[in-house]
Amino acid sequence: DAGVIQSPRHEVTEMGQEVTLRCKPISGHDYLFWYRQTMMRGLELLIYFNNNVPIDDSGMPEDRFSAKMPNASFSTLKIQPSEPRDSAVYFCASSPRTGGPLTEAFFGQGTRLTVV
């Protein structure tokens, strides 16, 4: 497997524009996580899915953020409208199901978002 694939790797957009980040998890993994990383706040969990169902979105900053997982091989994180404070690296990660505690989370290479 090629690992978790995120696109685009870099995105520069103007304030007010819509931004869509994409993620393809590792095949067979049941859990998908979206994280945001900044210098000030570190790695923040935004939302996670189990079997394509959103389980906890309490980390989503506000209504401008939304995430979907229409099938087991694809997820999107959308920001509309974008603001300069959304600038960060956004990581997607997936993890296999164990029936117990989480095991290793495999991270994608991230999308570096810059909102000007």
Partner 1 sequence: QQPVQSPQAVILREGEDAVINCSSSKALYSVHWYRQKHGEAPVFLMILLKGGEQKGHEKISASFNEKKQQSSLYLTASQLSYSGTYFCGTETTVGNEKLTFGTGTRLTIIP
Using CB under 8 A as the criterion, which residues of the chain lie in contact with partner 1 when the complex forms? Answer: 31, 33, 35, 41-45, 48, 50, 55-56, 91, 95, 101-110
Nearest distance from residue 104's CB to partner 1, in Å?
A: 4
Listed in sequence order, the residues at least 6 apart from 31 whose beta carbon sits closer than 8 Å to its beta carbon are 48, 49, 50, 94, 95, 96, 97, 102, 105
Instruction: Report, in Å, the least distance between residue 81 CB and partner 1.
Output: 28
Both tokens assigned to 77:
């994180």
Considering the complex, state which of residue 17 and residue 103 has its C-beta at the smaller distance from partner 1: 103
Residue number, 31 or 65, with CB nearest to partner 1: 31
The minimum distance between CB 11 and partner 1, in angstroms, equals: 16
In the complex with partner 1, which residue's Cβ is closer, 66 or 109? 109
Rounded least distance, CB 114 to partner 1, Å? 15
Residues 42, 88: Cα–Cα separation, whole Å = 10
